[in-house]
Amino acid sequence: MEFDYFRSNDGIPNNQNRQSLLASGWRPLHRELDWAFLWKLLHSDTKELTQKTLNLTSSLAEVLGRNNYTWWANVLNLVSENTRYEIDKFWHYITPDSQSPDYRYKDVLSTETPIVQFVSRQSIPIDYVLNRLQEITVLRVLELLGRPDIITQYYLERNFCYPVEKFINWERIDVVSTVYAYWAKDDIWLQIEAYDRGRRQYTLMSQNISPLINKATYDLAVMLSGYQSRVGKVHSQFPIRSFPVDIQSFTDTVQQAVLTQNQLAVVVNGEPGTGKTVWTQAVAKEILVPLGFVIFILDHDAIANFVPPAYLERICIIINEADNLAQNRASEVAQYNNKTEHILSLLDGTLYQSVIDDSGIHIKQRLVVLMTCNTTERLDPAMLRKGRVDLIYEFTQKFV
């Protein structure tokens, strides 16, 4: 059994929007009678249900019993706007609301798309790259989820639904108000809001979305250097087993530490051409990516403003020429910038763990930092203290 009425004082523009929804495949979502819900309502709210039933019955009896109108005029008055409104209110009371998101879900991941890039040729803000990564993550999660169980939209006091069997992709879904979608298997809600110039905001809500995020971000890497940025995969020119035997042995030690520690910092030093940079790429490709780490290759300006995204469970940061970043603060050069403090805070975890955000996704992160430098002599002594840098190794043989 189903029953639905639609009251509207909308003008032509709103009617056009409603007609646009219908033309693009949306259909009115009728409220259906649920006997279990009605039985529960009868037991939990008997007095209110009785009163509303009597009120509606009285109103209908009054309409049908008017003596100054003919019987057929009274029957026609049953479908008048006022009577329809009273019936509509009663029907909405005795039928359950359509499914909607539970905003108490603890995991929330949101993105606006497409990401607008406000940059100059001299620099690309780290915020843009991180927003682009978040956009990619959300869209990949949606690809993994596939076709939802329901797609609804509430517009002008009426619920509409989109036939899921006709669903192709989210770009083809017409968004006039706010669109909701639900996947029962994963217990995940999607909320889509439309902005001007074709921009949209996608918000995922779930009790535990981390497994899907881990799948969506597998094999992802971010490179940011100057005005160049890329989000893609790590490229390794040389496999680990092509390095000298002593470096292979050190790599095995690094791998074991990665498996046993939640946070790990490694410094490799040596003259130019000893293979330090390509070694970090090989470790990232062969060891960290298979373990689910998202790789960030960041220049000095980017690392100075980098905060690990809270929704990522495993992060690797590669910093080349770290001796130009975390310089000894006793030197005159280091006193003109605060990058040393930033890198120390990042290694400590105090920079981004000192305040816990009330919203979003909260997981225990694993962080690996790989740094290269020509010499450790220029590094600030505080950086090399126990607890900040776990492993140090010198590359001595020419490799590249």
CATH code where residue 322 lies: 3.40.50.300
State which of 94, 120, 155 marks the end of a domain: 94
Examine residue 100 and state whether it is found in any structural domain, yes or no.
Answer: no
Give the predicted TM-score (pTM) of the model.
Answer: 0.78
Q: 248 and 389 share a domain?
A: yes
Domain count within the chain: 3
With cut-offs at 50, 70 and 90, classify the pLDDT of residue 4: very low
Examine residue 165 and state whether it is found in any structural domain, yes or no.
Answer: yes
CA end-to-end span of the chain, whole Å?
Answer: 76
Q: 241 and 359 share a domain?
A: yes
Q: 229 and 353 share a domain?
A: yes
Q: 241 and 207 share a domain?
A: no
Examine residue 284 and state whether it is found in any structural domain, yes or no.
Answer: yes
Kind plus residue range of the DSSP H or E element containing 28: strand 27-28
DSSP string, 232-301: E----SS-GGGS-HHHHHHHHHHHHHHHH-SEEEEEEEESTTSSHHHHHHHHIIIIIGGGTPEEEEE-HH
Q: Which two tokens stand for residue 66?
A: 């008017």
Examine residue 307 and state whether it is found in any structural domain, yes or no.
Answer: yes
The percentage of the chain sitting over the pLDDT mark of 70, rounded to a whole number, equals 84
Examine residue 388 and state whether it is found in any structural domain, yes or no.
Answer: yes
Q: 49 and 146 share a domain?
A: no
pLDDT at 212: 95
Tell me what the mean pLDDT of segment 180-185 comes to. 94
Q: 152 and 192 share a domain?
A: yes
Q: 244 and 384 share a domain?
A: yes
Examine residue 372 and state whether it is found in any structural domain, yes or no.
Answer: yes
Sort 380 into a burial class: Cβ within 10 Å, 0-12 / 13-18 / 19+. buried
Examine residue 99 and state whether it is found in any structural domain, yes or no.
Answer: no
Sort 71 into a burial class: Cβ within 10 Å, 0-12 / 13-18 / 19+. exposed
Q: 199 and 308 share a domain?
A: no
Structural domain for 84, as ranges: 2-94
Examine residue 259 and state whether it is found in any structural domain, yes or no.
Answer: yes
Q: 208 and 270 share a domain?
A: no
**pLDDT-wise least confident of 193-197, 256-260, 335-339:** 335-339
Q: Which residues pair with 225 in a beta bridge?
A: 228
Q: 227 and 376 share a domain?
A: yes
State which of 38, 69, 94 marks the end of a domain: 94
Q: What pLDDT, in 10s, does the model give residues 13-65?
A: 556 676 778 888 898 877 767 778 778 888 888 888 888 888 888 887 877 77
State which of 193, 214, 235 marks the end of a domain: 214
Q: 226 and 146 share a domain?
A: no
Q: 236 and 381 share a domain?
A: yes
